[in-house]
Structure 1
Amino acid sequence: MCGIAGYIGRRCLPDDAVRRCHAAMRHRGPDGSGTFRRCTADGRHVLLLHARLSILDPDPRSGQPMQRGGGVLAFNGELYNFSEVRERLERGGLAFDTTGDTEVLLRALDPQGRSLLCGGHAAEDLLHGMAGALDACEGMWAFAYFDASRGTLVLGRDRFGEKPLYYLRDDDGGLYFGSEPKLLAALTGRPLRPDTEHLRRYLVNGYKSLYKTRQTFFAGLRQVPAGTMLAADAGGLRGLCYWERPHAAHDPVQEDMSFADAVRGTRERLIRSVELRLRADVPLAFCMSGGIDSNSLICIARRVFGYDVHGFTVMNTDARYEERECVEHVVRELGLRHTSVSPSVAGFLDGLRTLVRAHDAPVLTISYYVHWLLMQRIRQQGYAISISGTAADELFTGYYDHHNLYLAAMYGSGALYDKALENWRRHVAPVVRNPYLQDPEVFVHAPQERGHIYLHNDRFAGALRQPFDEPFTEHAYHAVPLRNRMLNELFHEAVPVILHEDDLNAMYHSVENRSPFLDRDLFDFSLRIPVRHLVRDGMAKAVLREAMRGIVPDMILDNRRKVGFNAPVLDFLDVRDSAVRAQVLADSPVWDFVRRDAVAQLLDGRSLGNSESKFLFNILCCKMFLEDCADA
């Protein structure tokens, strides 16, 4: 895990810009830094910058940007199967000077490595050849690769978008790139301008709307899409999607797959994914909740691989989400080291402002304010890696609307549907608060109903000074609505937000975050599981639960509660304090977008519903973000 930044174009960026950028990215890589400059034959300037967080082969010999032959690489992430890829390259005659993954990726991307990994017939086109090499790689990455012989710079991002990579095109065709927006501002020497439409989207429709568009919180700033490479050369900028996502015309489900086969295949692949992600030359910490997601990873690490697990837990103050009993049960049964973090409300506004400034954006949910505190504790305990359970819900079901969508998928199947409906009424109905989802057959009668996702957005639009009305949309990935929802959550709604916030929170404290559920083989297999196996006895993640039987304690596997951190903003914001109220309502550029009287009414309320609490938090973050932009 590191930071990368750079430029290709007609300008020769001054040393002051390089120093500013290195200073701005030091938190991403406190263990070393490097600079590469080159002028191409046609007069374009190439700049690659790197800040290193040492995870594999901490020796300075693995410093970056790394050069071998005519290739130069600045790499952020981890190539988990680097040992296997290295063996293939060594069998083809390549020699290595380091023991880490950076040189393996660099050699894989160069012409000889591409030929070896692609069976001796690497495509002549640079991007297609590199795509063949990346097909052999399992990991998370954002990289800049310069091919000196061609004078071409290639930017690449991993399949699921775990690692960030922003880019900005200048008026003269120059291309700036970096791991965070602040790095591009440092290189250009000028502040980035807020994208006011995207801010209104966030305020009205919430975080699930943000990755349905290419826009970011800054005008003109874009991210390299997940699973994509961009090549900048004398002819301009071109792209290649090297990993195809599923689409509606392609249904890989194996309807003859038994539940036992689904369980066995999931167990094998998740264990292998954890094994790969335990590879490091430094110790790892585990984010730990009381749910099945994190405990699957923790228990595999402990019971299958004998890893000395240290779990870190945020203890919830909201009784609806409190999970201390489950956490303590696992800690006792497995003999884990454990640290709990109790979030403090003291200094909330100052802390939130610090976090908004670090994110170069509004913080997308209040849970990530608390997650930031958790990452701080992990780093204080001496860890540079954290492992989390991101994406289990999107691969194996887990959200409340998945139960309703499962009922719609089973509708018309006779006794199977009747039993599923009975279980829904017994186990799910008593805990569902979203009014749309209180109807078990909502998706039977209206398969495209999505009002539960942008709940109350009409009220929030009414609090803005300028109208904003953007209806809900989703991509067509799969013919079965449940599967299609899960894939939209994975690629456009929930997981991109989690990955964005995880990366920034962890890297603020110089910690790398790993997500074993985001494994290509596990993902591909999960898509082949018949929908009828996904929910059983009114319990989501039915396949994952049974796959972990005998590894994860039964108390966790048989727990029906949907757990996870959540907190109302008023738990942190004492609006009865006149100084706090004055600070929230103080003059600010945000009032050009939001009616101040509407916010005052929210502060006057004795309690806020879940949607209103999120809206008030979003306004606070937008206020701080716009104030920082105005001061830049």
Structure 2
Amino acid sequence: MCGIAGILDATLDRAGQERRIRRMLATLTHRGPDGWGLYFDQGLALGHTRLSILDLAGGHQPMVSDRYVLAYNGEIYNYIELREELASRGLAFHSTGDTEVILKAFEAWGPAALARFNGQFAFVLWDRRDKRLLAARDRYGVRPLYVLRRGDQRCFASEMKAFDTLEGFERTFDMPHLFEHALLWNTLGDKTVYKDIHSVPAGTYEVFEAGRPFRRERYYEIGETNGRSPGLAAAREEFTALLEDSVRLRLRSDVPVANYLSGGIDSSVVTHLTARQQRDRFKTFSISFADGDFDESAFQREMAARVQSDHIEERVDYDAINGALGEAVYYGERPLFRTAPVPLWLLSKRVREQGIKVALTGEAADEILYGYDSYKELKLLEFWSRRRDSKLRPQLIRRLYPHLRHFRDPRRFGLMRMFYEGFLDTFNDDLCSLNIRVHNNQVLSNFFHKDHGLRFDRGRLLEETRRHLPPNFHSWTLLQRNQFLEMRTLLSGYLLSSQGDRMAMAHSVEGRFPYLDHRLVEKVFYYRDDFKLRGLRQKALLRECFDDA
């Protein structure tokens, strides 16, 4: 993992370029404390801060080939296989890591190379011959990349705080999109909560050249393969093999790799597979909470003992969360509507203190295997919409929300009325899966001053969402549509960014996510819904494939 920065401006001289790019990089040293690199061309400055993980001696950036210059943040996990394929075509290599593989892949295939990469990445690639810059981002938005527009100038950075160093620029809230972020925990499309700054969307690349408007191309979309589900036995075999191979690829590193262990099944399975493939004893890290209602340290310790890892716990209480909240907001770069990122900031700090740069996690299993309550809620709504007089309703809602029986305040039963009345009325809406989150977050609109002229408009929000849907969206099942929306809103815009990348990289720790191998995501997307959510049993396939974990 690394930090990248760039300035595309034909009016700047070399001295002006260097002064600005160095200031930008100074804000990104936490992403890459192991070295700096600079590159200059007419109208271009590129900078890179390095977190050395692969090819420790030879992977310095920006890396230059005969035609291209690359500043790159992330990992291409199948770089060994791609390197062999490219070498068979006669391309020569002078390093052993994945950075040069990207350069040679573009020499061989151009932008079509992106579809061949199995990884998490964001990079800018300068074409020295055509004086054209390409900015690309991985399929699911694991790694960040932002673009600032200032007249004819374009600036690029891994984090928006780098733009704060530019003379005459100050980040200003874009109030409508800040309001949108409050409702969805993300902004739609390429927008951010700041004016004039956009995010390169996941699964796309953008092309910039002087005198022309920028061009965006999508090279990947969730569910684009239009696959078919195998039978259950074949699905179990395929899923197990793909997840095992995903972990194998994500263990590729020239530095030690650890595991984050939450105590739940997602990270436990990844840790189990790590133990089967690692020859050496490895470290596991967990958060334990002083508040017993949230603490899962018993399960964490049990799993660590089973795999015989060196297990390290970070004990977190409310004072620790309060003390680190300001740091989490600074590194998160966007409003945080809950404190969940703070313990991850504290854990990553502990991980780095132990000398670890890379950690595997269980992120995204909830999205691809229907692990969130929203999947169960939608399944019940679908049942109720067909059988409005069913006597099973009370039993089902008690199974869905077992905690309701502990409430004595009648206002709590507004949740039940919301299901029985409000959501059933909009169930046929193609975006009904967003209703619950939008409804719950609507209270945040009260924090916006009336002078901003903002008001909650569900219709406008949903219409804007529809603009970003793929053509085959309406051919999917209700739960598949929910998965797409979860991955394009909550996952990419919050869990992988302000709660994921930013909290780990604040301490120079790279998170790796085996459940986000695109081969796995695409296959599982088209598995039958009941393989993933059997009755109300979530992540059924994962539990059945790894019942020994």
Q: In structure 2, how many angstroms separate the alpha carbons of the residues matched to 1:164 and 1:495?
A: 10
Q: 1:506 aligns with which of 488, 504, 507?
A: 504
Name 1:468's counterpart in structure 2.
Answer: 455
Q: 1:196 aligns with which of 165, 170, 175?
A: 175
Q: Report the AA paired with residue 299 of structure 1.
A: H
Q: In structure 2, how many angstroms separate the alpha carbons of the residues matched to 1:25 and 1:463?
A: 32
Name 1:177's counterpart in structure 2.
Answer: 156
Tell me if structure 1 keeps the 8 A contact 2:142–2:492.
Answer: no
Tell me if structure 1 keeps the 8 A contact 2:3–2:25.
Answer: no
Q: In structure 2, how many angstroms separate the alpha carbons of the residues matched to 1:92 and 1:201?
A: 49
Name 1:252's counterpart in structure 2.
Answer: 227
Deviations 1:553-591 (A, max 9, x none): xxxxxxxxxxxxxxxxxxxxxxxxxxxxxxxxxxxxxxx
Which runs of 5 or more structure 1 residues have no equivalent in the other structure? 40-44, 115-128, 553-632
Determine if the alignment matches structure 1 residue 138 to structure 2 residue 118. yes
Question: Which stretch shifts more, 135-144 or 424-433?
Answer: 424-433
Name 2:191's counterpart in structure 1.
Answer: 215
Distance apart, 1:94 and its partner CA? 1.1
Tell me if structure 1 keeps the 8 A contact 2:7–2:44.
Answer: yes
What TM-score, normalized by structure 1, do the two folds share?
A: 0.76
Name 1:9's counterpart in structure 2.
Answer: 9
Deviations 1:466-493 (A, max 9, x none): 2431425355525311111111001122
Distance apart, 1:84 and its partner CA? 0.2
Distance apart, 1:409 and its partner CA? 5.7
Q: 1:197 to 1:260 in 2, by over 3 A?
A: same
Distance apart, 1:201 and its partner CA? 3.6
Superposition map of 1:152-163 within 5 A: 152-163=132-143
Name 1:542's counterpart in structure 2.
Answer: 540
Aligned residues: 517
Q: In structure 1, how many angstroms separate the alpha carbons of the residues matched to 2:172 and 2:401?
A: 46
Classify the secondary structure of the residue corresponding to 1:529: coil
Q: Report the AA paired with residue 89 of structure 1.
A: L
Classify the secondary structure of the residue corresponding to 1:229: strand
Classify the secondary structure of the residue corresponding to 1:62: coil
Q: 2:201 aligns with which of 201, 216, 225?
A: 225
Determine if the alignment matches structure 1 residue 238 to structure 2 residue 215. yes
Q: 1:224 to 1:213 in 2, by over 3 A?
A: closer
Distance apart, 1:224 and its partner CA? 0.6
Tell me if structure 1 keeps the 8 A contact 2:205–2:216.
Answer: yes
Q: In structure 2, how many angstroms separate the alpha carbons of the residues matched to 1:486 and 1:375?
A: 28
Q: In structure 2, how many angstroms separate the alpha carbons of the residues matched to 1:352 and 1:429?
A: 30
Distance apart, 1:505 and its partner CA? 1.1
Q: 1:20 to 1:447 in 2, by over 3 A?
A: same
Distance apart, 1:144 and its partner CA? 0.7
Deviations 1:395-453 (A, max 9, x none): 01111121132345678999xxx9x9899567434246882599599877734445421
Determine if the alignment matches structure 1 residue 103 to structure 2 residue 121. no
Q: 1:337 to 1:32 in 2, by over 3 A?
A: same
Name 2:356's counterpart in structure 1.
Answer: 383
Q: 1:214 to 1:136 in 2, by over 3 A?
A: closer
Distance apart, 1:155 and its partner CA? 0.6
Name 2:407's counterpart in structure 1.
Answer: none
Q: 1:443 to 1:480 in 2, by over 3 A?
A: farther
Q: In structure 2, how many angstroms separate the alpha carbons of the residues matched to 1:412 and 1:504?
A: 41
Q: In structure 2, how many angstroms separate the alpha carbons of the residues matched to 1:25 and 1:67?
A: 22
Superposition map of 1:318-357 within 5 A: 318-346=291-319, 349=322, 351-357=324-330
Determine if the alignment matches structure 1 residue 19 to structure 2 residue 22. yes
Q: 1:318 to 1:513 in 2, by over 3 A?
A: same
Determine if the alignment matches structure 1 residue 525 to structure 2 residue 509. no
Determine if the alignment matches structure 1 residue 396 to structure 2 residue 373. no
Determine if the alignment matches structure 1 residue 430 to structure 2 residue 409. no
Q: Report the AA paired with residue 223 of structure 1.
A: S
Classify the secondary structure of the residue corresponding to 1:505: helix
Q: In structure 2, how many angstroms separate the alpha carbons of the residues matched to 1:22 and 1:304?
A: 37
Tell me if structure 2 keeps the 8 A contact 1:157–1:226.
Answer: yes
Q: 1:30 aligns with which of 18, 28, 33?
A: 33
Q: 1:251 to 1:435 in 2, by over 3 A?
A: farther
Classify the secondary structure of the residue corresponding to 1:301: helix
Q: 1:530 to 1:378 in 2, by over 3 A?
A: same
Tell me if structure 2 keeps the 8 A contact 1:253–1:527.
Answer: no
Q: Report the AA paired with residue 465 of structure 1.
A: H
Distance apart, 1:496 and its partner CA? 2.6
Q: Report the AA paired with residue 468 of structure 1.
A: R
Classify the secondary structure of the residue corresponding to 1:76: strand
Q: In structure 2, how many angstroms separate the alpha carbons of the residues matched to 1:347 and 1:134?
A: 42
Q: 2:332 aligns with which of 345, 359, 375?
A: 359
Determine if the alignment matches structure 1 residue 493 to structure 2 residue 466. no
Q: Report the AA paired with residue 508 of structure 1.
A: A
Q: 1:463 to 1:244 in 2, by over 3 A?
A: closer
Classify the secondary structure of the residue corresponding to 2:30: helix
Name 1:308's counterpart in structure 2.
Answer: 281
